[in-house]
């Protein structure tokens, strides 16, 4: 996927569990972001980062934490998973003529 | 009113047909416009950017009408491989955060 790697691809969590979704890029782009996609809704921005050490909230940040210690990595943490966080999560980077490049996604189910 | 509105479809068309999708948006401050394609259970991929003067890429033509706040995508000579969901996407702000429509599903049949 053009330098954006997301892991895991699938995950099932129990309510209250925590986990970290990983996103790594090898394209040296400053801008990274996390989106969630739910049926009948457009992708919605959770958090984004314009460079190492800088993060900001998007449209739906509640229940999620992020950090950006390096240019390459932008992990998304769920501290206490809830069924409402069942979704498909995409990491995206921005750069060049390709515009935004998305990772292959993580399908998360919270039971 | 949603920031970006699209007809969800599905649009069922025969191979070789011409099909057009429209998308309306409410934020007049939107600065950049895109069409993305998303295959089932896959990530969105950039199909084309949309410019005010209109632009074409092979069988695909995109148009932007800022006054009426809509963008369009025309697909000529549809192929089976064009079957996908087409997302209308807007960018605005210094961080160019994207706003996505819910997508229009296209199914091309024999």
Mean pLDDT of B82-110: 88
* Residue A1: pLDDT band with limits 50, 70, 90: very low
Neighbour count for residue B55 (Cβ, 10 Å): 14
Residue B45: list chain A partners with CB under 8 A: 102
Residues whose CB is less than 8 angstroms from the CB of residue A98 and which lie 6 or more positions away in sequence, other chains included? A2, B46
Q: What is the pLDDT of residues A2-53, one digit of tens each?
A: 589 999 999 999 999 999 999 999 988 999 999 999 988 889 999 999 999 9
Distance, CA of B64 to chain centre:
11
Q: What is the pLDDT of residues A41-86, one digit of tens each?
A: 889 999 999 999 999 999 999 999 999 999 999 999 999 999 999 9
Residue B98: list chain A partners with CB under 8 A: 43, 45, 100
Among chain A residues, CA nearest to B96: A94
Taking CB atoms within 8 Å and a gap of at least 24, the contacts of A9-12 are A9/A104, A9/A105, A9/A106, A9/A107, A10/A106, A10/A107, A10/A108, A11/A106, A11/A107, A11/A108, A11/A109, A12/A108, A12/A109, A12/A110, A12/A111
Residue B44: list chain A partners with CB under 8 A: 43, 90, 100, 102
Cβ separation A104–B42 shorter than 8 A = yes
Phi-psi region at B54: left, alpha or beta (left = phi > 0; alpha = psi -120 to 50): left
Q: What are the tokens at A26?
A: 């090898």
DSSP letter for each residue of B1-55: --SEEE----EEEETT--EEEEEEE--TT--EEEEEEE-TTS-EEEEEEE-TT-E
Judge whether residue B107 has pLDDT over 70.
yes
The label of the residue with tokens 């069922």 reads B12
Cβ separation B4–A104 shorter than 8 A = no
Q: What are the tokens at B16?
A: 């070789």
Q: Which of A70, A83, A88 is nearest to A34 (CA)?
A: A88
| Closest chain A C-alpha to B58 CA, distance in angstroms | 17
């Amino acid at each position: 996927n053009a330098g954006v790697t997301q892991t895991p691809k699938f995950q099932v969590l129990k309510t209250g569990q925590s986990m970290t979704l990983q996103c790594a890029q090898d394209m040296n782009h400053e801008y990274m972001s996390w989106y969630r996609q739910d049926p009948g809704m457009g992708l919605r921005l959770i958090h984004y980062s314009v460079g190492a050490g800088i993060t900001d909230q998007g449209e739906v940040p509640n229940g999620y934490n992020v950090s950006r210690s390096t240019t390459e990595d932008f992990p998304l943490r769920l501290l206490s998973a809830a069924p409402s966080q069942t979704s498909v999560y995409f990491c995206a980077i921005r750069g060049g003529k390709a515009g935004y490049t998305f990772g292959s996604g993580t399908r998360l189910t919270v039971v | 009113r949603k920031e970006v509105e699209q007809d969800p479809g599905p649009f069922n068309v025969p191979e070789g047909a011409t099909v057009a999708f429209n998308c309306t948006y409410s934020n007049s401050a939107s600065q950049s416009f895109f069409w993305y394609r998303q295959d089932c259970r896959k990530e969105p991929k950039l199909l084309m950017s949309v410019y005010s003067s209109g632009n074409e890429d092979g069988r695909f033509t995109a148009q932007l009408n800022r006054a009426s706040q809509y963008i369009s995508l025309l697909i000529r000579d549809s192929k089976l491989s064009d079957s996908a969901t087409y997302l209308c996407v807007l960018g605005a702000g210094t961080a160019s955060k994207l706003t996505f429509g819910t997508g229009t599903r296209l199914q091309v049949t024999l």
